[in-house]
Amino acid sequence: MSLSFHWFLPTYGDSRNLVAGGHGTSMSGDRPASLRYLNQIAGAAEENGFEGVLTPTGLWCEDAWLSTAMLVETTETLKFLVAFRPGLVSPTLAAQMAGTFQRHSRGRLLLNVVTGGEPHEQRAFGDFLDKEERYERTGEFLHVVRSLWDSREPISFEGKHIHVQDALLDNQPDPVPPIFFGGSSQAAGPVAAKYADTYLTWGEPLFAVSKKLEWIRRLAVDQGRRLRYGLRIHVISRDTSERAWAEADRLLESIDPADIERVQANLAQSESEGQRRMLELHGGSSERLEIAPNLWAGVGLVRGGAGTALVGSHEEVAERLIEYSRLGIDQFILSGYPHVEEAYWFGEGVLPILQRRGLWNPPSHRETRTVATPFATAQASSS
């Protein structure tokens, strides 16, 4: 199995400390998410061999479609995993946008479909459906989108939530972008099994992840399909385990208790089953945050969504990733604070270990590129 690694674009801002908020809660870092800075992160990801970058969606960050479109011309091979929410845009328009992006980026679009689990944020966008209805709509939306990508004839569809008549694309995407989809609730499973190419889960202990993947596999078999599986998690990887945990301790010490109280109160209102599972890992307490070997739940004290990090030496982090891969996960979406520097820690520390073990192949651009990012020189002199 060859593993794929993606990085993250924090379009709400970055920091040397944990950035509090997300998933319906306002957030901003002390490194503003300027286009220049996002280009630095994209450059660091591409230079270190990451296949793509995930860009979030929500009121608490910049628009993912526009942000990534602005980065296409400053990158060469990096793919863009664009998160977006069905129901906030018509399926015909979304299918057309994907075709446009694929053509102008020369096939570098990936899609992360986010149903939405924060009712107050959905209402702010004008969406008043309940959770079950949102997943119903997502299924109908993806049915129309995939039909438009495949059909050479006009299609019409009349569902409970989606209605289109005589829709036909002149710019079908080539290749068709893979669809990444996450969701831990019972309503999410059938949608993932029927329409997703890669099912995503957040970082939980191995037994919990294994149980979730087995659930999705069974549903996919019922649909006559076979999915890929991905893990969304943070990383703190250093030359030694002591240095990595010292960095985790520093991040923890930098957290304002008021931020923990504010974020936890807001996340408690979430309808997301995945978010509930993240909250259970730490229970709002900063005690006993290592919930499994090298798995740290400290990020989730102040950040919605992915709330765990792999912390340890490069060898330990590589071994934990291999353990997840044995469950069937072959795509990893990673991040770390700050995102430029951590891309180099992981890219220079962990990826060579996985390459030596035959589990990762660097992209060809690392052999042909001659222009290094400015940070590459600084990192070489400081590490």
DSSP 228-295: EEEEEEEEEEESSHHHHHHHHHHHHHT--HHHHHHHHHHHTT---HHHHHHHHHHTT-SSS-EEETTE
Alpha-carbon span 335 to 339, nearest angstrom: 6
Residue 299 CA, distance from chain mean position: 15
Tell me, which fold does domain 4-233+313-376 have in CATH? TIM Barrel (3.20.20)
Residue 370 confidence (pLDDT) above 70: no
| The pLDDT value given to residue 128 | 95
Residue 356 confidence (pLDDT) above 80: yes
For residues 113-145, one letter each, b for 16 or more C-beta atoms within 10 angstroms of the residue's C-beta and e for the rest, the string is: bbbbbbbebbeeeebebebeebbbbbbbbbbbb
End-to-end CA distance of the chain: 31
| The model's pTM | 0.93
Looking at residue 371, the DSSP 8-state letter turns out to be P
Q: Which residue type sits at 192? A: A
Domain boundaries, the chain: 4-233+313-376
Average pLDDT in the 5-27 region? Answer: 92
| The pLDDT value given to residue 366 | 41
Residue 364 confidence (pLDDT) above 90: no
Please say whether the beta carbons of 303 and 21 come within 8 A. Answer: yes
Tokens describing residue 203 = 């970082």
Alpha-carbon span 109 to 379, nearest angstrom: 29
Other CB atoms within a 10 A radius of the CB of residue 343 amount to 31
Alpha-carbon span 313 to 243, nearest angstrom: 8
| The pLDDT value given to residue 119 | 87
By mean pLDDT, which of 13-22, 114-123, 173-182, 349-358 is the weakest?
114-123
- Which backbone phi and psi does 312 adopt, to 5 degrees? 165, -175
